[in-house]
Amino acid sequence: MADPILEVHDLRVTFDTEGGLVPAVDGIDFAVAPGKTLAIVGESGSGKSVSSAAVMGILPSNAEVKGEVLLDGRELVGLPDDELRKIRGNDIALVFQDALSALNPYYTVGWQVAEAYRLHHAVSKKAAFKRAVELLDKVGIPDAARRAKSYPHEFSGGMRQRVVIAMALVNNPRVLIADEPTTALDVTVQAQIMQLLADVQEEFGTALVLISHDLGVVAEVADDVLVMYAGRAAERGTVRDLFYRAAHPYSLGLLGAMPRIDVPPKPRLTTIPGSPPSPGSIKTGCPFQPRCAYTERVGERCITERPELTPRPGEGDHEAACHLGRRPEVVS
């Protein structure tokens, strides 16, 4: 496999709030190689979006980031703002989930894509606009030269998301982070946007970090998966490891909550009981313990000892953070 273009080691993010220090991400590791897709999955509050914001260096000032974020071997944590600004949008770009708030309603979409280009290239407005039209065309905006002069509200949700992707791609980034890029879109448009990202990846060899809670999308596009729970890694492996050999009860819960067309429909989907803990509230033991259907099989250790990511014997790089020795079977 090619060397990773982005490596994250022991990433920790703590917010300094009025209620004290709140750990949102508690020591995660991941890597993604050119042309590959890593999906980071988990419920809201699992730390997946905070992790991507930490990689981009766009967290608010009350956040403290520790660990390593290496882009092609260059450390990004602690870089001065002006250095980070040169990298952001140029080497690493972010596709937001909410295209409407990512775009300025007062400027035409062509102008906005062109300005994203001019931030990193000393070119004339005319040349930047030409580049913007080229990108809008590439992401499938029909009649791009004319539509570039339209405003965001004149586009449908799916077309706006294409504009946001054009803006993210205008500088040919080596890493694209897409945070729930299809959440607000209907299923057909979702599929079109994911296909667009796959096409872009193939053409430019872009590494993609996909933040998602939608395992259907993950199954379609990811090579590797990191499952996050309460700011920590619950499981990590290839997409096949997750879908065929899930080893963490939380991953099994996510899979059980996923609608399937290959099995007869259940009267209602299985859900994971309870809700995720608030960040930092579980000091000892396994953060998933209050919701776990397997804790009785392990006993006290689930409450007293925090499970660390451990390789699954004979399963390559597949790892899970769970005290259960053998693979859990589905409990309904």
Give the interface with ligand SF4 as residue ranges (CB under 6 A). Answer: 248-249, 286, 288-289, 292, 294-295, 298, 302, 307, 322-324
Q: Which is nearer to ligand SF4, 18 or 296 (CB)?
A: 296
Can you say how many angstroms the Cα of residue 332 is from the centroid of all Cα atoms in its chain? 29
- Nearest residue to 132 (alpha-carbon basis) of 146, 151, 147, 111: 111
Beta bridge partners of 68: 9
Task: Taking each helix axis as running N to C, give the angle between helix 109-118 and helix 157-169, from 0 to 180 degrees, rounded to the nearest 10.
Answer: 20
Residue 264 neighbours by CB distance under 10 Å: 5
Give least dist CB 296 to ligand SF4, A: 9
Output the smallest distance, CB 327 to ligand SF4, in A.
11
The nearest distance, CB 307 to ligand SF4, in angstroms, is 4
Place of tokens 């992401």: 139
Nearest residue (CB) to ligand SF4, 156 versus 284: 284
Q: How far is the CB of 266 from ligand SF4 (least distance, A)?
A: 23
Q: DSSP characters for 44-56?
A: TTSSHHHHHHHHH
For the bound state, the minimum distance from the C-beta of residue 306 to ligand SF4, rounded and expressed in Å, comes to: 9
Report the residue number, 40 or 252, with the smaller CB distance to ligand SF4.
Answer: 252
* Nearest Cα residue to 90 out of 61, 67, 122, 48: 122
Q: Specify whether the CB–CB gap between 136 and 149 falls below 8 A.
A: no
Closest by alpha carbon to 33, among 258, 238, 276? Answer: 238
Q: How far is the CB of 49 from ligand SF4 (least distance, A)?
A: 23
Beta carbon of residue 155, minimum distance to ligand SF4 (angstroms, whole number)? 44
* Closer residue to ligand SF4 in complex, CB, 89/249: 249
Q: What is the DSSP code string of 124-191?
A: -HHHHHHHHHHHHHHTT-TTHHHHTTS-GGGS-HHHHHHHHHHHHHTT--SEEEEESTTTTS-HHHHH
- Beta carbon nearer to ligand SF4, 190 or 295: 295
Nearer to ligand SF4, 181 or 249 (CB): 249
The residue among 91 and 241 lying less far from ligand SF4, judged by its C-beta, is 241
> Which 8-state DSSP code applies to residue 321?
-
